[in-house]
Chains A and B, each alone.
Chain A
Amino acid sequence: MPDTLQSTQTPRPVPAGADLSGNRATQPAVEFRDVEIAYGKFVAVRDFSLAIAKGSFVTLLGPSGCGKTTILRSIAGLVDITKGRISIGGRRVDDVPIYKRNIGLVFQSYALFPHKNVFDNVAFGLKYRNVSKAEIARKVGRALEMVRLPGSEKKLPSQLSGGQQQRIALARAIVFEPEVLLLDEPLSALDANMREEMRVEIKKIQRETGITAIFVTHDQEEALSMSDRIVVMNAGSIEQIGTPEEVYDTPATAFVADFLGKANMLAGKVSASTGTTATISLAAGQSATVVSPRPLAVGDAVTVVVRPQKLSVGKEQTSNHLSGRVLSTSYLGGSVIYEIDIGGGTMVRCHTAINGKPAREGEVIDLGFECDGCVLLDANGRRIS
C-alpha cells in the first residue's frame, strides 16, 4: 500500500489524555495524565499523557534510559510519580500500594520464586484473592494449559529452561485475571529462536484472554510484530504514538525514523516547491523531487527520509535517481543489504531483493526511489505535514 503523506495523523505534542482507543467510548484501561517522574533532580519522564484502550496491546519502545521501564513500573506502583496522575480502569492509583493494584507483572529475568514449585508459583496470586483450594487448582491447571506446559506443577524453576520459565511467569501473571498485564522486556533474556516463538505465544494468549497488555522493549521487531499501538519514547518523552504501520511508514521525528529500521536521512535544501511536490537539492550532490504535504519555502533545510527497503537498485523507472559506490555487501540469502557512499560524505543503506548477481564492494551502482516513498522532516527533525 503506497503511503500518502497527507493521510498521516498523530499530532505532536500529544494532548493530555489523548484517547488511543479510536472511536470506542469505553473507559481506558490505563490512563496517564501529565505524569512526571523524577529521581531527585533527574527527571526520568516528563509530560507523559497516554490512554490505553481495554484489550489492546501497547508497546513502549525506545533505547535504554528513555524512561519506558520507569513508566511501566509506575503503573505497577514500584515507582512513585512526582506529578500528574495514573488511573487503572478509571480508578486513580497514585496512592494505592502495589499489592492492591491488581496488575500482572512479567519480568525480564522471569523472577519465579526459586524455592516454590510451578504450582505454588502460579497459585501465588490466587492465594491472596479469597479463591477456594479447588478453584485454585482448576485455574492453575488451565493457566498451565494456556502456556502449553500442563503437568509441570511439581517442577522447580531450576528444572525448567529459560523459555519454560518465562511461560510459567506469564501463567503466574494472568491466572488471577488482572486488569492489566505489564511485560518488562520479557523476551530479551531468551535466545533468538525462543524469542520469536514466545512473541507469537504471548500475542496469542493476549488475544485469547482479551487482557490489556503493556509491553516494554528496545527491540523494534518485537514492537512492530506484536503491538496494536506503539509508543516511541526518547529521553523521557513521547516521540510518537501510532500503529506499527504509522510509526514505521510515517515517522513523526528524525529519532523515530532512525530508531525504527535505521532510515536513510538525506539532508538537503528546497530548490523548488509546488503545492504537492518539492524539489530538494541534496547535500550529496543529487537532486530529488518528492511529494510534499504543503508548499515549502525555497532554501529551507529539510531531510528526506527513505527506508532502506524503498531504495531500489538499477536504472528502473523510479522518479528519483542516485548513484554511488558500494562500501559493503551483506548477502542474506533472499535479499541483500548494501551500504553505499553516494557522495558528499553521505552513506545510505539499501535493502533489496536480489536481482541477478549482487553488486561487489567498490562497484558503482544506480539507486532510485519513488517520489512518495519517503518522508520529509523540517530543520528541527519534525515531519512536515
Chain B
Amino acid sequence: MSQRMGNREGRWAWRLTGFMTLLVYIFMFAPIAATVVLSFNSSMFGGFPMTGFSLQWYGKLLGNEQVLAAFRTSLWIALMTAVVTTAIGIVSAFALTRFEFPGKQALSTLVILPALVPETILGVGLLVLIKAVDQPRTLMLLVLGHILLAVPYVVLVAQARMVGIRRVYEEAALSLGASRFSTFREVTLPLLIPAVVAGALLAFTISFDNTSASLFWRPAGVETMPTQILSMLKISISPEINALGTVMIVMTVGIPLIGGLILQSLTKLRKRREPKEEF
C-alpha cells in the first residue's frame, strides 16, 4: 500500500523534475535560438517579428572586408593557441602524473590558477606587466595571452586521460628495451591521442570566442571576431550581427562536435570486432 503511495509521489516528483529541466534548457538555449533564427530574417531590423526568410545577411558578411579580416585573425590566433597549448598541456600532464618531485602539488595548483582568476583581472594584469617592461602590444602577445587562458583546461583534460593510462604499458615498453623517450613516443603519446585532440579543440574554442581579455591585449587596429561584433554593436543592431553570431556558434560548437565524432569513429574502428570465444 505504502509502496503505491510512494510510486504516485515518485511520479509527480519526476514530472516536476522534467518540467524544471525543460525550463532550464529553454532558459539556456532561447537566446542562442533567437540569434540563429533572426539571422535568416529578411527584415532590416535585427528583431522579431520575422518578415521572411533570407540569406542576404550572410551574403553581406562575405562582402564585409573588416569581418573577413577579423575572422582570419581569430582563426590564426586560435590555431596557434591550440598547437602550443596542446604541446604544453601534454608535457605538463605527463610530468604531473608520472613523476614525483618536491613542490609538485604547488605546481599542479599553479598551472590551474589562471582558470580561477577572473579574465578581466588577467587581462589588466598582463597589460600592466608589458607596460612595466616597456613592450608594445603585438599579435604575438595576444596569442601568448590566449595560451595563458587555455593551458589550465588542456592540462586538466590531458591529466584526466593520463591518470587513466595504466603504468604497466609504459613498464612493458621499458622492459622490452625502449628508452624513456621511445616509450613516450611509441606508447604513451598514442594512448593520449583522445586527450590531445580534445585539448586542441578546447584550446581552439577558448581562444576563438574569447572577448574580454582580447579587448585588453589586441594591438591597435586588430580585431578578432568577438571584438568585431562588439564594435559593430556600438554602431547599430544590424541583422548582420545575428548572422555573424550564428557563424561563431557553428564554429565553436561544430568543431568540437566534429572532433568528437572523428575520435569516436576511430576508436570504433579499433574495436570493430568483439573478442572471439576461447580457442
Interface residues, chain A, with chain B CB atoms under 8 Å away? 76, 78, 97-105, 107, 109, 111-115, 124-125, 128-129, 148-149, 156, 158-161, 163-164, 172-173, 176, 194
Contact = CB atoms under 8 A, between A and B. Distances in A.
B275 A124 contact: no
Given A99-B175, A128-B182, A107 B271 contact: no
Given A158-B270, A161-B276, A161-B277, A128 B169 contact: no
Contacts of B191: 114-115
Contacts of A128: 176-179, 182
Nearest to B182: A128
Contact of A176 (B168, B169, B177, B182): B177
B177 A129 contact: yes
A161 B176 CA distance: 23
Interface string B131-174: 00000000000000000000000000000000000101101111
Contact of B169 (A76, A97, A104, A113): A113
A115 B169 CA distance: 11
13 contacts: A97-B174, A102-B177, A105-B172, A107-B172, A113-B172, A114-B191, A128-B178, A128-B179, A156-B271, A158-B271, A159-B273, A159-B275, A173-B176
A99 B166 contact: no
Contacts of B259: none
Contact of A115 (B166, B176, B180, B190): B190
B180 to A, nearest CB: 8
A109 B278 contact: no
A103 B176 CA distance: 7
Contacts of A114: 169, 191, 270
B187 interface: yes
A191 to B, nearest CB: 9
B12 interface: no
A334 B178 CA distance: 52
Contacts of A161: 275-279
Contacts of B182: 128
Contacts, number: 88
B207 to A, nearest CB: 29
Dominant SS among interface residues on chain A:
loop
Given A124-B173, A161-B278, A163-B279, 12 more contacts: A76-B175, A98-B171, A98-B175, A99-B176, A99-B180, A100-B177, A114-B270, A115-B191, A161-B275, A172-B176, A173-B175, A176-B176
B275 A158 contact: yes
A194 B175 CA distance: 26
Nearest to B270: A156
A329 B168 CA distance: 44
B89 to A, nearest CB: 20
Contact of A98 (B174, B273, B277): B174
A112 B175 CA distance: 13
B178 A124 contact: yes
Contacts of A101: 175
Given A115-B191, A164-B279, A125 B171 contact: no
Contacts of A163: 278-279
A194 B171 contact: no
A149 B276 CA distance: 13
B175 A113 contact: no
A164 B183 CA distance: 24
A144 B166 CA distance: 25
A109 B166 contact: yes
Nearest to B177: A128
B176 A111 contact: no
A1 B5 CA distance: 74
A128 B278 CA distance: 32
Contacts of B277: 161
A160 B271 CA distance: 11
A112 B172 CA distance: 8
A103 B171 CA distance: 12
Contacts of B276: 159-161
B178 A99 contact: yes
Nearest to B187: A113
Interface in B232-279: 270-271, 273-279
Nearest to A122: B176
A194 B174 CA distance: 28
A334 to B, nearest CB: 26
Contacts of B171: 76, 78, 98, 105, 107, 111
A123 to B, nearest CB: 10
B168 to A, nearest CB: 4
A179 B98 CA distance: 28
A42 to B, nearest CB: 16
A111 B177 contact: no
Nearest to B183: A99
